[in-house]
Amino acid sequence: MFAILLTVPAVAAPLASASVGVLAWRPFFDPLDLHRQWFLLLIPLAFGIAVTYRAVRVNTFERYWLKTVILTVQIVLAMILLGTAAYVFIQFAVPYLLPMTG
């Protein structure tokens, strides 16, 4: 559901060019061909998590959607920070701590 919002434009463009491979795509039976844009799928994932988690946590639904959007942004930013930290650790810290010999 959430992924549909994001993937429709990405799927519609190749469909317009009448590519045989994309026309053969069968929803739920074939995987999407979004291997290069996979990271964009993390945004609807964060939104889905926020919708459900906020619905459980709040007592009243006052400003519910604002809280949901804020949590979505927080999740996405946290993933970016964790990804950056992992990149820095692997690219710079590990070669410094464990230099390759020979």
Restricted to residues 31-70, the positions that interact with other proteins (CB under 8 A) are 31-35, 38, 41-42, 44-45, 48-49, 51-53, 55-56, 59, 61
Contact 68, 54 (CB under 8 A): yes
Length of the chain: 102
- x/- contact string, 4-23, with other proteins (CB under 8 A)? x--x----------------
Amino acid at position 38, single letter = W
> Is-contact 2 44, C-beta < 8 A?
yes
**Interface with other proteins by CB under 8 A: which residues?**
1-4, 7, 24, 27-35, 38, 41-42, 44-45, 48-49, 51-53, 55-56, 59, 61
